[in-house]
């Protein structure tokens, strides 16, 4: 699986959260392996940072959607813990 690199400052292509996490895991393994050239490692690191930011943004948006769904008519957000059995 190749690593999709972007130019510095360029946003990663839109992808699902899961696809971004899979690519990020691949980048981490490659960097931990230590066999990439310096230039390739830097490009992969930049891509990893962009993916991390994209994933964080997606998580923030999902959290906001959940808050809206849990908000009562009075504007109070329910703080009930999620059920870990599902």
Q: Is residue 31 part of a domain?
A: yes
Residue 79 lies in a domain: no
| Range of the structural domain that residue 34 is part of | 17-70
Using the CB atoms, write b or e for 40-58: b if 16+ within 10 Å: ebebbbbbbebbeebbeee
pLDDT tens, position by position, 34-73:
989 999 999 999 999 999 999 999 999 999 988 888 887 7
Structural domain includes residue 53: yes
Q: Give a yes or no: residue 78 inside a domain.
A: no
Reply yes or no on whether the pLDDT at 6 is more than 70. no
Q: Residue 9: what pLDDT?
A: 47
Decide if 50 contacts 11 (C-beta within 8 A).
Answer: yes
pLDDT score, position 81: 63
What's the CATH number where 27 sits? 1.10.287.1040
The answer to whether position 33 is within a domain reads yes
Based on the number of CB atoms within 10 Å of its own CB, is 27 exposed (0-12), middle (13-18) or buried (19 or more)?
Answer: buried
Domain count, the chain: 1
Average predicted confidence (pLDDT) for the chain? 82
């Amino acid at each position: 699986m190749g690593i999709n690199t972007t130019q510095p400052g360029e946003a990663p292509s839109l992808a699902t959260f899961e696809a971004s996490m899979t690519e990020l895991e691949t980048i981490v393994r490659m960097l931990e392996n230590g066999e990439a050239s310096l230039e390739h490692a830097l490009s992969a690191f930049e891509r990893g940072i962009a993916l991390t930011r994209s994933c964080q943004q997606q998580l923030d948006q999902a959290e906001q959607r959940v808050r809206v769904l849990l908000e009562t008519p009075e504007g109070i957000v329910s703080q009930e813990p999620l059920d870990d059995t599902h």
